[in-house]
Chain A
Amino acid sequence: DTGVSQDPRHKITKRGQNVTFRCDPISEHNRLYWYRQTLGQGPEFLTYFQNEAQLEKSRLLSDRFSAERPKGSFSTLEIQRTEQGDSAMYLCASSLASGGPRTQYFGPGTRLLVL
């Protein structure tokens, strides 16, 4: 049973560069979520998809952030013109859409450091 996977696990970049993270959900899960976790804090919701449709976006998701899930399977999260404040752990989770409340299964995260 393959869990949620994320790539890369770590990313170091310079301020102003663009970065892209990938998330592969559990294969039968049609909902996919992105969260951001800064040091000493709980995860903060960014956005989620059902299949390829983006159903909800947080105000935290500024215009420098974009998430896609083009074929309803894997998802990418891109950050353009990175800033030092973007340094955080980016977590992806997936769930089934049916039933409630839905249990979200988390991946190991991508840790981003912006220099």
Chain B
Amino acid sequence: AQSVTQLGSHVSVSEGALVLLRCNYSSSVPPYLFWYVQYPNQGLQLLLKYTSAATLVKGINGFEAEFKKSETSFHLTKPSAHMSDAAEYFCAVTRGDTDKLIFGTGTRLQVFP
């Protein structure tokens, strides 16, 4: 079975500070991993995805994530937070033989001026 754990349901940073959102996965087969962002009362928007082509994945809006097999992690980072980054972030995992996404419980990012 696959699962995702997001450590920290809430993260607060100052504008301009580093953003680090943690995601650890469990999978018996090589996983595909995703980060999505959700703004209030909206659907989910893909930030980036890991497809095994490269361990460091760059996404939209300056976000990136690094796949670390030894740590079973796929943490999301951004060097400098912007007020507009305030949202809910979800990590998700799937296998190659199914399209079913397994989501974590999400991390709410607050950005203070």
Contact = CB atoms under 8 A, between A and B. Distances in A.
Contacts of B106: 40-42
Nearest to B106: A42
Contacts of A41: 105-106
Interface stretch (A12-20, A67-75, A76-84, A105-113): A105-113
A22 interface: no
A108 B100 contact: no
Contacts of B9: 40
30 contacts: A31-B99, A33-B99, A35-B101, A40-B105, A40-B106, A41-B106, A42-B4, A42-B90, A42-B92, A42-B103, A43-B101, A43-B103, A45-B101, A45-B102, A58-B100, A91-B43, A91-B44, A93-B43, A93-B44, A100-B51, A101-B49, A102-B99, A103-B46, A103-B49, A104-B46, A106-B44, A106-B45, A108-B42, A108-B43, A111-B41
A35 B103 CA distance: 10
A21 interface: no
B92 A101 contact: no
Nearest to A4: B43
Interface in B1-51: 4, 9, 32, 34, 36, 41-46, 49, 51
Interface of A: 4, 31, 33, 35, 40-45, 48, 56, 58, 91, 93, 95, 100-109, 111
Contacts of A33: 99, 101
B100 A56 contact: yes
B43 A100 contact: no
Nearest to A109: B43
Nearest to A108: B43
